[in-house]
Amino acid sequence: MLILAAWLGAPVPPDLAQAAPLTNPPPKSATTSQPRLQGRQGSYLATVFVAATSKKAWQVLTNYGAMAGVMPDIKEAQVLSRNGANLVLRQTYQAPYTFGLRVTAILALRESPPRQLSYSLISSEQIRQLKGSWIITPVAGGVLLRHTILMDPAVPSVIRPLYFELSEANLLQSMAILKRLMEQGG
């Protein structure tokens, strides 16, 4: 409990805030039917082949409100504002990697339909840095869905390894869910 209390109130030293670079990114031609995750310590590339059109993949990816309760960590999602391709989204997460706590983040998103969605953190009390992008690339038989993410949680150094281990499992589970949703008819 002391560790969780420290997470809510104690800053993490700046030297621990450095995210590791991606290691061994997959070749551009690589497609996989099962989600793959590369990287470490908050800097990741997740990929999965999806047997769907770019249009269908884009519709699922940008249905922000529908992600709450479907994705393993998103409990609430609300578009706060939209100005063309730019929007502000509030998401509340609760998952093993949040140690059961509800963590809210305000994100700035930029949509480039139907192929790219970029996001960055505006504010959060428990997240220092969160940014990334989703890229939908047409390939034979469907699309390659790629999610790059850089995250820096405001957690004490003693629980950072566990945080990242739990986050990695969540990323893989989320990619599998998105694949299933994108491949469903309709």
Could you state, in order of their start, the residue ranges of all structural domains in the chain?
26-183
Cα 61 to chain centroid, rounded? 11
pLDDT at residue 33, as a whole number: 85
Q: Please check whether residue 164 is in contact with residue 42, taking contact to mean a CB–CB distance below 8 angstroms.
A: yes
Domain 26-183 CATH superfamily: START domain (3.30.530.20)
The sign one gets for the Cα dihedral 46, 52, 55, 56 is: negative
DSSP 8-state code for residue 90: E
Residue 20: phi, psi to the nearest 5?
-75, 145
pTM for the predicted model, two decimal places: 0.81
Per-residue pLDDT of the chain (186 residues; tens, 9 = 90+): 333 333 334 333 333 333 333 334 444 444 458 999 999 999 999 999 999 999 999 999 999 999 998 999 999 999 999 999 999 999 999 999 999 999 999 999 999 999 999 999 999 999 999 999 999 999 999 999 999 999 999 999 999 999 999 999 999 999 999 999 999 965
Q: Would you list the DSSP string of 94-125?
A: -SGGGTT--EEEEEEEEEETTTEEEEEEEE-S
CA dihedral angle for residue 124, residue 125, residue 129, residue 132, rounded to 10 degrees: -30
- At 135 the three-state DSSP class reads strand
Q: Please check whether residue 178 is in contact with residue 63, taking contact to mean a CB–CB distance below 8 angstroms.
A: no
- How far apart, in Å, are the Cα atoms of 13 and each of 6, 10, 186? 13, 9, 49
CB atoms within 10 A of CB 179: 22
pLDDT at residue 32, as a whole number: 57
